[in-house]
Chain A
Amino acid sequence: MSLPDAPMGAAAIAGAVRSRTVTATRVATDALLRIEARNEALNTYTSVLAERALAEAHAVDAAMADGTNPGALAGVPYGVKSLFDVAGLCTRAGSIINGDLPPARQDAVLIRRMARHGAVLLGTQTMDEYAYGFTTENAHDGTTRNPHDASRVAGGSSGGSAASVAAGLGAVALASDTNGSIRVPASFCGVFGLKPTYGRLPRTGAFPFVFDLDHVGPLARTAEDLALVYDALQGADASDPACALRAVEPALPPLAKFPSGLRVGVLDGWFRDKANDDARAAVGQVADALGARALASLPGAEAARASAFLITAAQGANLHLANLRARASDFDPATRDRLLAGALLPAAFVLQAQRVRRWFSEQAAEVFRSFDILLAPATPCTATRIGQETLALDGVSYPVRPSLGLLTQPLSCIGLPIVCVPVCRAGALPIGVQIIAPPWREALALQVAAHLERIGAVRAASVA
């Protein structure tokens, strides 16, 4: 059988491989050809691992030939943000400095879990240096282009991952989100992204950025694919001190059900003020589809965003302090100046930021007494132009690079689980809406995302 022109999703591929409609090798070969054809223009992959991909695909086909179940992700081709350890590769995390580190001795835990379920790793993907950015304009690796408009950024810091999924250069991707780095590029590229609850998925073998805020999670073209991958990734890991000792709570089995009587609130205040008309319209579209009329007020979002900003600068700087002292000029200039400034922050500010974080978490818990799900735009606007310096919100000019996370940062600051769903309107660039759930309720957020997709309110943006 020949594969259709439109790349298949993860569930479809795994189903086709397990029903012997197609071989994993064929799927991998097809994905590698797509990458070869489009990667130069889009700059989504920094390393393509064709040999490994074909070996993993052959192993899946061999399992099928033996009558062994190759797993729920049989033959699903995927890429990973270049901060995940891949055995034999240097984990560059978008830097040149990490090029001096020895190659990783083993795969990151999440990559091992993907492999255990039969997925096929295609390569590592472009990102902002050390994940400190929202645009994937990387001084060393170049800029990842938005598949919907090559003059625009893909968002960041997981820009290569989101753009690869949008363009079909892999069915899904693994990425990280410290301040919005899954949700911002998902929004700009028109794909689904899941930032799980802080501590849900182990970060073992993922190069750190901000220990208190780092999350890892998947990107996909459907809510079902997101849930499928998320379930394969779940499970505690003692090597990550922040990873919660929780049992696996599968999201896929209940995905088709939509809970009745769901109380959905639209976040106002900060989450409305820091959004342009496109972002507000997208939230309105999702709210209408859910019959959500109530506005929800979450006090303190601006202070929470400030907390995330300060904790990020201080912890990121501490992580890189030795290299900032010894070889500052080897950093990407944009990253370098942020980290140098962060290294100078007085303790009083950072400690207060940590206490504000606790306080804001209590504010959110109070809001969730009245609501089951909250909605907010993922980004203040659609994808910005490459090199764009400022963006206007209600007539006020903001610097682009730090401001793309205005709406994501307050929420990751307190670790809430969020699915970013893509809203597409004719003639317009896609934009994401955050489906925000209480802690540990990823499955509920995914149910809402799947429901919205079933009724046609959201869908991954198609790439010409």
Chain B
Amino acid sequence: MSDEDLDLLIAGLAVATGLPLDPAHRAGVAANFGRLLAQADLVMAVPLPPETEPAPIFRP
């Protein structure tokens, strides 16, 4: 993803989340969001069988 696309993505997600982003914070947010996307690639690459439940179990 180009830097421009990343900035557009962040701007759109920020609107959807109702999170105003100060222009002064955008570079730091982009660097961290890019790092998160790289981590997301790693978890999305794990082939999981359908029966693998999410880890937290709610016990009422």
Band of interface residues on A:
35 or more
- Which A residues, 283 to 303, have Cβ-Cβ distances below 8 Å to chain B? 300, 302-303
Least CB separation from A414: chain B residue: B55
If the complex has contacts A325-B19, A349-B43, A355-B48, are A310 and B53 also in contact, measured as CB distance less than 8 A?
Answer: no
On whether the beta carbons of A337 and B31 are closer than 8 Å, the reply is: yes
- Report the Cα distance A351→B40, complex, angstroms: 11
- Measured between beta carbons, the chain B residues less than 8 angstroms from A303 are 42-43, 45-46
- Measured between beta carbons, the chain B residues less than 8 angstroms from A324 are 19
On whether the beta carbons of B31 and A309 are closer than 8 Å, the reply is: no
- Measured between beta carbons, the chain A residues less than 8 angstroms from B32 are 313, 337-338, 340-342
If the complex has contacts A352-B43, A355-B52, A355-B55, are A313 and B36 also in contact, measured as CB distance less than 8 A?
Answer: yes
- Report the Cα distance A96→B43, complex, angstroms: 34
User: Most chain-B Cβ atoms within 10 A of its Cβ — which of A341, A346, A357?
Assistant: A341
Least CB separation from A351: chain B residue: B54
- Report the Cα distance A305→B39, complex, angstroms: 8
Interface residue from A306, A344, A357, A361 paired with B39 (Cβ < 8 Å): A306
Interface string of A373-415 (1 = CB under 8 A from B): 0000000000000000000000000000010000000000010
Instruction: Determine how close the nearest CB of chain B comes to the CB of A198; give it in whole angstroms.
Output: 10
The answer to whether the Cβ of B2 comes within 8 Å of any Cβ in the partner chain is no
On whether the beta carbons of B56 and A310 are closer than 8 Å, the reply is: no
The answer to whether the Cβ of B8 comes within 8 Å of any Cβ in the partner chain is no
Instruction: Determine how close the nearest CB of chain B comes to the CB of A313; give it in whole angstroms.
Output: 6
DSSP class of B's interface residues: helix, strand, loop or mixed? Answer: helix
On whether the beta carbons of B36 and A340 are closer than 8 Å, the reply is: no
On whether the beta carbons of B55 and A358 are closer than 8 Å, the reply is: yes
Least CB separation from B57: chain A residue: A358
Instruction: Determine how close the nearest CB of chain B comes to the CB of A262; give it in whole angstroms.
Output: 29
- Measured between beta carbons, the chain B residues less than 8 angstroms from A402 are 35
On whether the beta carbons of B54 and A344 are closer than 8 Å, the reply is: no
The answer to whether the Cβ of B4 comes within 8 Å of any Cβ in the partner chain is no
- Which B residues, 22 to 48, have Cβ-Cβ distances below 8 Å to chain A? 22, 25, 28-33, 35-36, 39-40, 42-46, 48
- Report the Cα distance A321→B54, complex, angstroms: 23
The answer to whether the Cβ of A336 comes within 8 Å of any Cβ in the partner chain is yes
- Interface residues in chain B, defined as those with a beta carbon under 8 Å from any beta carbon in chain A: 10, 13-14, 17-22, 25, 28-33, 35-36, 39-40, 42-46, 48, 52-56
Given pairs A310-B43, A341-B36, A358-B53, 14 additional interface contacts (CB within 8 A): A302-B42, A309-B35, A310-B36, A337-B28, A342-B32, A344-B10, A344-B33, A349-B44, A352-B48, A355-B48, A356-B43, A357-B54, A357-B55, A402-B35
Q: What are some 22 contacts across the A-B interface (CB < 8 A)?
A: A212-B55, A306-B42, A310-B36, A310-B40, A313-B32, A324-B19, A325-B20, A328-B25, A329-B22, A336-B25, A337-B29, A342-B32, A343-B19, A346-B13, A348-B44, A354-B54, A354-B56, A355-B54, A356-B43, A356-B48, A359-B48, A359-B52
